Amino acid sequence: MTSPHSAPDPHDPATGSTQSHAHAHTHSHGPAAPVSTHLRKVIAAVLIPFATAVLVGMVALWPGGAPAHERTGVGFDRQTQDGRVVKVVAVDCADVNAGQVPPTGDTSTPSGREAVAEQTGSCKKATVEVTTGKDKGRTFVEIIQPDATRKLKQGQGVVVAYAPDAPRDLQYSVTDVDRSFPMALLAGIFALAVVGVGRLRGLMALIALAVSFAVLTLFILPAILQGSNPLLVAVVGASAIMLIALYTCHGLTARTSVAVLGTLISLVLIGLLGSLFIGWASLTGNTDDNTGLIHGLYPEIDMSGLLLAGVIIGSLGVLDDVTVTQTSAVWELHQADPTMGIRRLYKAGIRIGRDHIASVVNTLVLAYAGAALPLLLLFSIAQSSVGVVANSELVAEEIVRTLVGSIGLVASVPVTTVLAALVVSADRTGLGAEAGAPAPVRTGRGRRRKT
């Protein structure tokens, strides 16, 4: 029986076992154990030159703002102002569509049905006031057809497009509704939820998110518009985002450094595969009105390179999640059982990684499918075969984007796992010192004994 003031015997199964489990449990939820000075130097020797190269690349490619151009008045390239709907009244469509071509009465086609509706249906006439810009206070009329998907209501905020070359009565038109308040409210709820649950880590994640958007909008996009190689800009920008986001959220530790290395290797693989298959499949990157407008305004931009840049940046967010999770899993496994060697650590970590692979790849594929759902619906309406759909450039782009990104994600699991296993297995001194226990010494017979 142990007295209240005596030290518990570590060999006593009644006390030593409990101590061991309590110690392991504490480490599984605490910060990562510090690594040895030697390993810090090795990791720094790899990451400091990489971070320096990223910084030099950003300085060399820094655009200094997006280049100016004369607006075309097409699509997103229009002058816009804020507006407000001051009045909405119902009117007869025949009165407001008097200038339309008389309908034929044939309703078997979509154009025929629209023509009949525009002549016989009930329309609405909205009076809209411009609330910003040099024409603030000016009003104009917007006719809302019966088949219009956007219905305006009195007091609603809208975005109006301005065409200076058009006749005065036709210079302004409603192009969209003002969603700034619900979007800002949703962003506020998101921020509160992240900080409320994640506390300091959540706050650091929001800071990293803001910095990522800053790199995207102040460096990546303007640099591409200035004519820099999209692939080079994406690699430098994505590397900067990766370094800032990972170290901001997870701290300047060896564990984070291993995740950075795993992410970097996977990004290189994604870049190589993406470059190979985008060129091999003859994907131009110019597949819709928006990319066509970009190519028309800035013909010097390499659109296929822009597509590859999108693949790299789009894969980065999920890669961060996979590499950090795998690194943390290996670290915790080693802290729970410091006797585990590289092979056992790798096997245990890869078992965790397989579950992660299955869920992440499925998530990535469904995310791309959800974004392309209207397009897939059109192919379904046309009753096109799977081969025809997959061969079209619009869908082929998404397939290549999904598969290349998924290959990079799958590869990141074994790469990061083996890197983490090598680092923690080579750092026995750091772990032992952190645990407050003497370092194990190997005897001549290959057994370990306590010193």
Sequence-separated (6 or more) residues with CB below 8 Å from residue 60? none
Containing 127, the helix (H) or strand (E) segment is: strand 122-130
Sequence-separated (6 or more) residues with CB below 8 Å from residue 429? 36, 439
Give the tokens for residue 148.
């219009």
Place of tokens 């910084």: 55
Closest by Cα among 320, 322, 328 to 420: 328
In this prediction, residue 104 carries a pLDDT of 52
CA–CA separation, 360 vs 357, rounded Å? 5
Three-state DSSP class for residue 289: helix
CA–CA separation, 83 vs 81, rounded Å? 7
Backbone phi, psi, residue 80, to 5°: -130, 155
* Torsion, CA 50, CA 51, CA 57, CA 59, rounded to 10: -160
What's the pLDDT tens digit per position in 384-395? 677 777 777 877
In this prediction, residue 319 carries a pLDDT of 87
In this prediction, residue 426 carries a pLDDT of 77
In this prediction, residue 335 carries a pLDDT of 86
In this prediction, residue 432 carries a pLDDT of 40
CA gyration radius, the chain: 30
Containing 331, the helix (H) or strand (E) segment is: helix 303-336
In this prediction, residue 36 carries a pLDDT of 65
The string of DSSP letters for 202-213 reads HHHHHHHHHHHH
Question: Residue 181 has what DSSP assignment?
Answer: H
Tell me if 416 sits within 8 A of 262, measured CB to CB: yes
Those residues of the chain that have pLDDT short of 70 are 1-36, 38, 66-77, 97-121, 382, 384, 427-451
In this prediction, residue 111 carries a pLDDT of 53
Tell me if 394 sits within 8 A of 287, measured CB to CB: yes
